[in-house]
Amino acid sequence: MAIDLQEAARDRGIKYFLISYTDLFGAQRAKLVPAGAIGDMQKAGAGFAGFATWLDMSPSDSDLFAKPDPNSLIQLPWKPEVGWLASDLWMDGKEVEHAPRNTLKRLIARSGHEMKSGIEPEMFLVNADGTQISDLSDTAEKPCYDQQALMRRYDVITEICDAMVQLGWKPYQNDHEDANGQFEMNWNYGPALQTADQHAFYKFMARSIAEKHGLRATFMPKPFVNLTGSGCHAHVSLWDGKTNLFEDPAGELGVSELGYHFIGGLMHNTDAICALTNPTVNSYKRINAPRTASGATWAPNSITYTGNNRTHMIRIPDAGRFEFRLGDGAANPYLLQAAILAAGLDGIENKRDPGKRLDINMYTDGHTVTDCKKLPLNLLDAIRTFESSPATKAMFGEEFVAAYAKLKTVEWNNYARHLTQWERDNTLDC
C-alpha cells in the first residue's frame, strides 16, 4: 500500500518535502513543501510552469503537476527533517507522455517482465569552478585504485557511503577510478524504476555532500581532455518473478536465447539510442577519445559485444547478465534505463541476432574489424539517428521522440553558435 505522507511526516520527524522531478535534460526540479501541506500535494501534486524547465512546453500551457510517488520517499541523510520524493508529471488530467519517469514506467508496463539493473556512476571531485581536480597530490600516471588518493577523500566518500547504508541501498564498494580525481561508488542492483530513482537521488546526494566539504562533484562525461571520462555502466538482467530470464546453463556464456535477442536489440539500436545514453556535446569527447594519460579510454567507439572483456560496448562477465558500457555520467537516470529496455524489447519482439561475439582487444585490434557499426561522432549525428529511427518511435512514442529531438537540436544549435579559442587559433589567418 502507498505510504501516507502526512503520517510519515509525523512518524519520522519530517518538516519539509522536496517534490522532485527530472526533466528531459536530466536537471532535477523541485518545490519545498511544508509537512502540513503534503496531504493535498500527495493527492493533486505540486504545480509548476513546465516551459520554465527542459520540457517541450510553452508559456501558454496549463499548469504542470508533479504527483509524488510516496513509495520513493527518502529522508535526506545529511538533513533528515527533509524528505525527497520522485514524481510523475501530469497536465490537464493526463500523464505527460514525454516526461522521463513516465516514459520509463510506460516501457516497464509494456515489457511484461521486470528489468533489473545496477549502475556504476563515475564522478570527479573538483574545485568550485571545475577547472581542476580538488586533490592536487593526485598525480599518479596510473591512479586507478590509488589507496592514498582514496583515503585523502575518505571524509566525503564515507559520508556518501554511510548515507547509502542508512537508506538500505546495500553499498558494497567505493574506489578511486582510472582518472586522477575520479571516483566510483556501487550499491546493490534492483528493479529499473527503483534504480533510476536511486540514481537521480545519488547524484543530488553526492553533489550536496561534496559541497558540504567545500568540493564539487561533477558527472560531466569528459571534464579533462587528457584524463579518462566518466561513464555510467549498467549491469542488466530480465526477470519473471524469481526467475532470471537471461540465465541458461546450456547457453553460450550462460546466457539464454532471450538474453541474446535482448543484446541483439541493443546492437541493432545503439546508434539510435545514443542521444539518450550520451546526451551532451561533451559526451562524444569520451566515446571518441584518443588514448588518455592512464593508457586507455575505457569507453567504446564501436557497436560490439564480447565475453569478459572491457574493450567492447557490451560485456558478458557472468552467466545471466551483461554490462552495457556506453552510457556516461550525463545520462538522465530514467532515460538511461528506458533506452536499454526499449532497445532490448525491440530485440526480443523481432528476435534480433547479435551476431558472433568478438573476443579481441578492440583498443589495439579494433581497426581489423570492418563490418561493425560505429557510434555517432557527435551529438547532432546522434539526434538525427534517434529522430529518424522507426524503432525509437515505436518504443518511445512519437511525442517523446519529437520533444526530445526538438530540445536537443536547440542545444546543439546553441553550442554551434559558440566561438571557441581553437577556431581563433587555427583560422584567424586563413
pLDDT (tens digit per residue) in 344-381: 999 999 999 999 999 999 999 988 998 999 999 999 99
Q: In this structure, which amino acid lies at residue 206?
A: A
pLDDT single digits (tens) 259-275: 999 999 999 999 999 99
* Contact (Cβ atoms closer than 8 angstroms) between residue 336 and residue 346: no
The residue ranges of DSSP E strands in 245-391, in sequence order, are: 305-306, 314-315, 322-324
Q: How many CB atoms lie within 10 A of CB 142?
A: 10
Dihedral-angle region of residue 75 (phi above 0 means left; psi in -120 to 50 means alpha; beta otherwise)? beta
The residue ranges of DSSP E strands in 69-166, in sequence order, are: 74-75, 82-91, 94-95, 114-126
Can you tell me the distance from the alpha carbon of 85 to that of 66, in angstroms, rounded to the nearest whole number? 10
Percent share of the chain, pLDDT over 70: 100
DSSP 428: T
Q: In this structure, which amino acid lies at residue 351?
A: K
pLDDT single digits (tens) 276-294: 999 999 999 999 888 888 8
Can you tell me the distance from the alpha carbon of 67 to that of 156, in angstroms, rounded to the nearest whole number? 33
Neighbouring residues of 272: CB distance < 8 A, sequence distance ≥ 6: 343, 385, 386, 389, 391, 392
C-alpha to C-alpha distances, 183 to 99, 150, 207, 217, 223, nearest whole angstrom: 30, 8, 13, 10, 14
pLDDT at 231: 98
pLDDT single digits (tens) 39-74: 999 999 999 999 999 999 999 999 999 999 999 999
Can you tell me the distance from the alpha carbon of 161 to that of 173, in angstroms, rounded to the nearest whole number? 9
Can you tell me the distance from the alpha carbon of 48 to that of 55, in angstroms, rounded to the nearest whole number? 11
Cell of 133: 581536480
* 313: nearest Cα among 239, 377, 363: 363
What does residue 128 show for φ and ψ, rounded to 5 degrees?
-60, -35
Can you tell me the distance from the alpha carbon of 240 to that of 245, in angstroms, rounded to the nearest whole number? 7
Neighbouring residues of 60: CB distance < 8 A, sequence distance ≥ 6: none
The pTM of this model reads: 0.97
pLDDT tens by residue, the chain, 430 residues: 679 999 999 999 999 999 999 999 999 999 999 999 999 999 999 999 999 999 999 999 999 999 999 999 999 999 999 999 999 999 999 999 999 999 999 999 999 999 999 999 999 999 999 999 999 999 999 999 999 999 999 999 999 999 999 999 999 999 999 999 999 999 999 999 999 999 999 999 999 999 999 999 999 999 999 999 999 999 999 999 999 999 999 999 999 999 999 999 999 999 999 999 999 999 999 998 888 888 888 999 899 999 999 999 999 999 999 999 999 999 999 999 999 999 999 999 999 999 999 999 999 998 899 899 999 999 999 999 999 999 999 999 999 999 999 999 999 999 999 999 999 999 999 9
* 184: nearest Cα among 195, 192, 173: 173
Q: In this structure, which amino acid lies at residue 393?
A: K
Q: Tell the residue number behind the cell numbers 571520462, with chain if given.
A: 229
